[in-house]
């Protein structure tokens, strides 16, 4: 097959005809608007499929009440591949108070209500009605976070792995580039979709009886998960232990006579592979059918994705379940291609808003000896103490920022991804230059909390990191003669946080006269350790903890963050040179 590079992946029969296509190989379905940019998962996978020689089209935000909305480009030859979008659909739709959100930043004009709850399941069942007999593939964030039986906060119950309800032939978890290539090749060759890392499948009774589980670890079965509250903690501990892409084994979970199989996680992409997927011929703008702004794209239109993964393993965060802990950074030359492309675009105003990833100061970090990682079972590279094999001096990022800053046409380069404090306190040279030259008036940091026990449960290091960095930020801002601000993010109502622990945050904000701009009440994301603690009311060690569940119980801590103090801005003022 030859590869194709159209200006946009087709969304209509007319666009297919313009390319001379009479049918698609794979139909992609997503709950987001289609923006042809590598930060949108469906665009990245679609461009990769095209580059591999497969004809694909995209149906974005279909009418989920009508299966004919999927048939506008005809029946695909090989499969339908489905994602709920860049976010879990329930997080996208509902607040921590289980109320509908007022907007959807991944929709045109932020219009809400254009995707259903549990979108991956709904779209998969819709595709089954639209195209009987065609394989259905699940992927994206929702497939990653819900790949095993999990606690659904919004329905307040244990749900089966999403593949069970979606009735798709195959699920894919993680970012999925390697997995997608292998799956597409097997579909084209009409080979069984088995033995592929990063995939999930549901065995029928007969296949389950003969499947070889000798290299797999059994999870608590679904019936036990429904009847024994502690089983979620047991499952979560096993899943976390097997997340390491170098040591992780396959998992399986029984559903009566049927068995859900989760293959081992895929190894992270090499730098060359990450460069490749980001250098595919994206148009880097929304599809022309959209006439009004798409808020999520407006926020990243002048930014450049640079790094994959996060070493933190915070117990409230779902990112590790999707991207993994291993860090892969794009090469500086690859990033400079994006910089030059951005500078040459007609809408560029001279400001690059971000070069980052999960955090603004993890680019270029990694391990000294990957062989050491091959025997690691840690849930975090940084907590409770940084692994001595993990290197994050920030010097490679410093060199990159200087190179970008020296590019003709670049007036400003800002780093707007949040800063990891446990790394920042070790990166004095990087942070000093970032504060001096790369802060757009505000720098986001995420202490999350200030009480030591709550931080321990969150898998965050000591609040001393925040206090030290705050002092450093103020001193460096003063030296630079700039009035700029820290924006710290705190979480209310994390499991184990009583009003007494929250008083530590309240006292700090009162002393500083700060009123946070951003308020985050805790949401238990599926398949995270935080969700297991919330559901069981216990720590991973089995120690009972306080959990605030209803709005009446949660309101006092929310009010701590919403309290009106004298200053609206989050941070301390710094001094401007006259």
* CATH assignment at residue 561: 3.30.750.200
Per-residue pLDDT for 144 more than 70? yes
Are the beta carbons of 490 and 562 closer than 8 angstroms? no
**318-361, pLDDT tens digit by residue?**
988 899 889 999 999 999 999 999 999 988 999 999 998 999 99
Which bin fits 515, alpha (ψ -120 to 50), beta or left (φ > 0)?
Answer: beta
Count the neighbouring beta carbons within 10 Å of the beta carbon of residue 125: 17
Per-residue pLDDT for 64 more than 70? yes
Average pLDDT for residues 246-272, to the nearest whole number? 96
Last residue of a domain, one of 204, 219, 238: 204
Looking at the structure of the chain, the number of domains it has is 2
The sign of the CA dihedral 160, 162, 163, 166 is positive
Count the neighbouring beta carbons within 10 Å of the beta carbon of residue 205: 10
Average pLDDT for residues 545-557, to the nearest whole number? 95
Average pLDDT for residues 143-170, to the nearest whole number? 97
| Nearest-angstrom CA–CA distance, 135 and 187 | 9
Last residue of a domain, one of 155, 177, 204: 204
Sequence-distant (≥ 6) Cβ neighbours of residue 361 within 8 angstroms: 392, 394, 397, 415, 419, 420, 423, 424, 427, 430, 431, 434
Residue 563 lies in a domain: yes
Residue 223 lies in a domain: no
| Nearest-angstrom CA–CA distance, 183 and 233 | 32
What does the pLDDT read at residue 390?
94
**379-392, pLDDT tens digit by residue?**
999 999 999 999 99
The Cα diameter of the chain in Å comes to: 79
Residue 174 lies in a domain: yes
For residue 36, give the CATH number of its domain. Answer: 3.40.50.280
Per-residue pLDDT for 235 more than 80? yes
What does the pLDDT read at residue 3?
56
Sequence-distant (≥ 6) Cβ neighbours of residue 378 within 8 angstroms: 313, 387
Cα 497 from chain centroid (whole Å): 25
Cα 112 from chain centroid (whole Å): 21
Find out whether the peptide bond into 359 is cis, omega within 30 degrees of 0: no
Average pLDDT for residues 489-503, to the nearest whole number? 96
**Three-state SS for 240?**
helix
Residue 405 lies in a domain: no
What does the pLDDT read at residue 566?
62
What does the pLDDT read at residue 515?
84
What does the pLDDT read at residue 578?
27
Cα 432 from chain centroid (whole Å): 28
Domain span at 554: 441-578
Residue 27 lies in a domain: yes
Structure tokens belonging to residue 347? 């809408």
Structure tokens belonging to residue 451? 């009480």
**89-101, pLDDT tens digit by residue?**
999 999 999 999 9
| Nearest-angstrom CA–CA distance, 378 and 243 | 9
Please, what is the Cα angle at 84 between 81 and 90, to 5 degrees? 155
Average pLDDT for residues 239-259, to the nearest whole number? 96
**3-18, pLDDT tens digit by residue?**
568 899 999 999 999 9
Last residue of a domain, one of 204, 224, 251: 204
Band the pLDDT of 513: cuts 50, 70, 90. confident
Average pLDDT for residues 111-125, to the nearest whole number? 97
Strand arrangement of the beta sheet that strand 520-521 belongs to: 442-448, 485-492, 520-521
Are the beta carbons of 354 and 376 closer than 8 angstroms? no
Band the pLDDT of 511: cuts 50, 70, 90. very high
Please give the mean pLDDT across all residues of the chain.
Answer: 94
What does the pLDDT read at residue 4?
61
Query: Is this prediction's pTM over 0.85?
Result: yes
């Amino acid at each position: 097959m030859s590869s194709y590079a159209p200006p946009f992946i087709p969304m209509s029969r007319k666009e297919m005809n313009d390319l001379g296509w009479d049918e698609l190989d794979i139909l992609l379905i997503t709950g987001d608007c289609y923006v042809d940019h590598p930060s949108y998962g469906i665009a990245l996978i679609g461009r990769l499929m095209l580059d591999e020689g497969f004809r694909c089209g995209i149906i974005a935000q279909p009418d989920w009440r009508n299966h004919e909305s999927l048939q506008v480009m005809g029946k695909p030859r090989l499969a339908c591949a489905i994602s709920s979008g860049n976010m879990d659909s329930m997080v996208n739709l509902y607040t921590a108070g289980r109320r509908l959100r007022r907007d959807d930043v991944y929709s045109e004009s932020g219009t809400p209500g254009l995707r259903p709850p549990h979108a991956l399941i709904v779209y998969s069942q819709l595709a089954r009605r639209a195209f009987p007999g065609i394989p259905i593939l699940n992927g994206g964030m929702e497939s990653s976070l819900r790949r095993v039986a999990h606690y659904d906060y919004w329905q307040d119950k244990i749900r089966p792995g999403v593949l069970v309800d979606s009735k798709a032939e195959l699920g894919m978890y993680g970012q999925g580039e390697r997995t997608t290539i292998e799956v597409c090749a097997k579909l084209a060759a009409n080979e069984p979709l088995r033995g592929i890392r990063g995939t999930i499948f549901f065995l029928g009774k007969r296949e389950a009886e003969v499947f070889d589980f000798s290299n797999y670890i059994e999870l608590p079965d679904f019936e036990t998960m429904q009847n024994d509250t502690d089983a979620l903690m047991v499952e979560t501990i096993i899943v976390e232990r097997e997340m390491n892409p170098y040591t992780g084994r396959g998992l399986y979970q029984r559903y009566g006579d049927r068995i859900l199989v989760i293959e081992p996680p895929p190894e992270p992409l090499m730098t060359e592979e990450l460069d490749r997927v980001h250098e595919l011929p994206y148009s880097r703008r929304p599809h022309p059918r959209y006439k009004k702004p798409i808020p999520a794209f407006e926020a990243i239109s002048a930014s450049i994705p640079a790094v994959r993964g996060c070493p933190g393993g915070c117990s409230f965060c779902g990112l590790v379940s999707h991207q993994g802990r291993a860090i892969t950074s794009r090469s500086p030359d690859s990033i400079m291609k994006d910089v030059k492309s951005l500078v040459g675009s007609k809408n560029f105003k001279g400001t690059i808003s971000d070069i980052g990833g999960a955090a603004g100061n993890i680019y270029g970090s990694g391990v000294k000896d990957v062989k050491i990682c091959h025997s690691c079972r840690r849930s975090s590279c940084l907590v409770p103490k940084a692994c001595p094999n993990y290197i994050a001096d920030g010097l490679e990022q410093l060199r990159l920022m200087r190179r970008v800053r020296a590019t003709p046409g670049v007036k400003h380069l800002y780093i707007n991804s949040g800063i990891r404090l446990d790394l920042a306190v070790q990166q004095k040279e990087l942070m000093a230059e970032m504060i001096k030259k790369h802060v757009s008036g505000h720098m986001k940091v995420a202490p999350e909390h200030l009480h030591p026990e709550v931080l321990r449960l969150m898998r965050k290091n000591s609040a001393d990191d925040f206090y030290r960095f705050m002092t450093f930020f103020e001193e460096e801002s003063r030296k630079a003669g700039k009035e700029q601000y820290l924006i710290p993010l705190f979480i209310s109502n994390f499991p184990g946080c009583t009003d007494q622990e929250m008083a530590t945050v309240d006292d700090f904000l009162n002393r500083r006269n700060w009123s946070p701009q951003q308020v985050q009440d805790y949401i238990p994301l599926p398949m995270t350790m935080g969700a297991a603690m919330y559901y069981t009311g216990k720590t991973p060690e089995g120690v009972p903890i306080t959990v605030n569940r209803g709005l009446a119980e949660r309101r006092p801590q929310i009010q701590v963050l919403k309290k009106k103090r004298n200053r609206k801005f989050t941070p301390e003022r710094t001094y401007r040179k006259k």
